[in-house]
Amino acid sequence: MKVAPNGTNVFGTPLPDFSKIALPGIGANDQVVARAREGFEKIKAASEQMTEALRESYSSNARGATDYGLKVFEISNANAASALDFLIHLCGSKSATDVFTLSAAQTRKAFDAASDQNKELWILAQKLATETGEPIRKHFTKVFHQAG
């Protein structure tokens, strides 16, 4: 709700002045207000820190996802080049033995490449998960230490 400088809301209605209200059974309104204000400030600070953590996490996630996507494109390009190379060699085969030998070699090469590529993607995925979660973990730890 927006408050005008004269203490009214946007409709011109005066806002109640809660500072003059006495709470029954509580003798020290100032202490209650001070504690409430202190609690609010802690919540506000924690909220700002968590917003910053999420901002850092999102930024890290975007970088990691881009790196992962680029690696997938790189792998796809390498696999396509390997398949084309195999087809070119296959077209130059002179006998069934040549076809069998080339096919066996290509199968082994493809298996080794897939194994290495999966390792690379796994490492990138782990890095992405770690880097995405780290800002949040760091800020949660900081907030809980401050609250304690």
Answer yes or no: is 109 within a domain. yes
Per-residue pLDDT of the chain (148 residues; tens, 9 = 90+): 444 555 555 566 666 665 665 555 555 577 878 888 888 888 888 788 788 877 887 877 888 889 999 999 999 999 999 999 999 999 988 999 999 999 999 999 999 999 999 999 999 999 888 887 787 777 777 767 766 5
pTM, to two decimals: 0.58
* C-alpha to C-alpha distance for 32 and 15, rounded to whole angstroms: 21
Answer yes or no: is 117 within a domain. yes
Answer yes or no: is 5 within a domain. no
Answer yes or no: is 14 within a domain. no
Structural domain count of the chain: 1
Q: Which tokens belong to 131? A: 């880097």
Answer yes or no: is 13 within a domain. no
Q: Which tokens belong to 37? A: 């204000």
Answer yes or no: is 88 within a domain. yes
Answer yes or no: is 104 within a domain. yes
Q: Residue 12 gets which letter from DSSP?
A: S
Domain that holds residue 98: 49-147
Cα 29 to Cα 17, 24, 74, 110, distances in angstroms = 14, 10, 67, 76
Half-sphere exposure of 58 (CA within 13 A, CB side): 6
